Amino acid sequence: MNKTLLNIIAIVLAILFVFPLIWMLLVSLKPDGVNVYSLSDWVNWSDLNIDNYVKVVRDSHILRWTWNSLVIGILTTVISILFSSLAAFAFSKLPFRTRGIFYVIIVSGLLIPTEAILIPLYETALHLKLIDNIWAIILPGLTNPIGILLLKSFMDGVPKDYIEAAQIDGSRNFRLWWSICLPLTRSAMVSVGIFFFILSWNNFLWPYLSITSEENMILSAGLPTFLSNNTMSLNLIMTASAIAAIPTIIVFILLQRHIVQGVSMSGVKG
């Protein structure tokens, strides 16, 4: 195909893709009630100001939600990675007879999504007095078996000689994991970790159900409350979206190589 034509198509598509985000930012900076409809609204930057941001931050819990999302994301990711790594180590390096059975049980976790067990999950959380508690989001977040699958395939690549040499030196299993397998799979752990963090940060349905008070919400589940709040105009809703989106966009720009790698690695397996 003609090279120039291909370049033009790519650029036009890229502009179309980025348009909604630029529009969101522009509207979020326009005074309340001012629309961005015609071309003249686009080029008129004289009325841009950050009043909407001040207002949203002052009148809602949005900063609190961002903080909650961050704390929950980090806790879920770190705990998940450690637990997955331990299990992956057992499956990859320890000879035991019931390995097959346990592997099947754990991999079965890929079959049924949270959406299909919402009601009993809610009932379980209710019994454990977890409703409206951040652990109601974190604990079910630790059940994703994809981390075990991925980390196992990387640990399978750790040479047997290393393990055997350490065993001869008298290392116990825990040391084999901590000082050989863990450091050697560090880059895989970063990729899986980023994937887990994105999942947690963007998790919507379960936090939306299990968190009932406004100050305990996370960002993705808290945003829709702006819709039921009639005092929020079009521009303020875009400001709230922008506040939620900007940290994600910045992190994406900084870590995009790792993010793309992590996502494609997990996607190929899943």
Partner 1 sequence: METKLREGKGSVALRKSEPLRIRTELKAIIYLIPFLVPFAVFYLWPVLRGAWMSLHVWGIQGMEKYVAVANYKKIFANSDFYLYLWHSLYFVLLCAPTVIILGLVLALIINQNIWMRTLIRSVFFLPYVLSVSVISFIWLRLFDAKNGPVNAFLHLIGLPGDINWLTDHRFVWWAITIATDWWTVGFVMVLFLAGLQEIPTDQYEAAKIDGANAWKRFLHITLPGLSKVMKIQIFYQIISSLKLFGQVQIMTGGGPGDTTNTMIRYIYVTGFKKDMFGLASAQSMIFCFIMLLIAVIQFKMTDRKDG
Q: Which of residues 134-193 bind partner 1 (CB under 8 A)?
A: 139-140, 142-143, 145, 148, 173, 177
State yes or no: residue 245 binds partner 1 (CB under 8 A).
Answer: yes
122 scored as a contact of partner 1 (CB under 8 A): yes
Per CB under 8 A, the segment of 50-58, 105-113, 149-157, 183-191 that binds partner 1 is 105-113
Is the Cα dihedral 40, 42, 43, 49 positive or negative?
A: positive
Which tokens sit at 243? 């506040």
Question: Interface residues for partner 1 in 191-230 (CB under 8 A)?
Answer: 198, 201-202, 204-205, 208-209, 219-221, 223-224, 226-227
Site for partner 1 in 38-97 (CB under 8 A): 38, 82-84, 86-87, 89-90, 94-97
DSSP 112-140: S-GGGGHHHHHHHHHHTT-TTSTHHHHGG
Compute the distance between CA of residue 68 and CA of residue 74 in angstroms, rounded to an integer: 10
Q: Which of 48, 51, 124, 133 binds partner 1 (CB under 8 A)?
A: 124
Q: Out of 31, 100, 113, 157, which residue is the one contacting partner 1 (CB under 8 A)? A: 113
- In contact, 63 and 76? CB cutoff 8 Å: no
Looking at beta carbons only, is 54 or 205 nearer to partner 1?
205
Give the separation between CA 132 and CA 123, rounded to whole angstroms: 13
One of 50, 116, 165, 254 touching partner 1 (CB under 8 A): 116
C-alpha angle 104/144/81, rounded to 5°?
A: 110
User: Residue count at the site for partner 1 (CB under 8 A)?
Assistant: 94
DSSP-based three-state secondary structure for 161 = helix
**Nearer residue to partner 1 within complex by CB, 49 or 212:** 212
Q: How far is the CB of 18 from partner 1 (least distance, A)?
A: 5
List the one residue from 104, 112, 213, 230 that touches partner 1 (CB under 8 A).
112
Residues between 15 and 44 that touch partner 1 (CB under 8 A): 17-21, 23-24, 27, 35-38
From residue 53, alpha-carbon distances to 22, 215, 240 in Å are 16, 19, 8
* CA distances in angstroms from 114 to 140, 200, 204, listed in the order given: 9, 13, 11
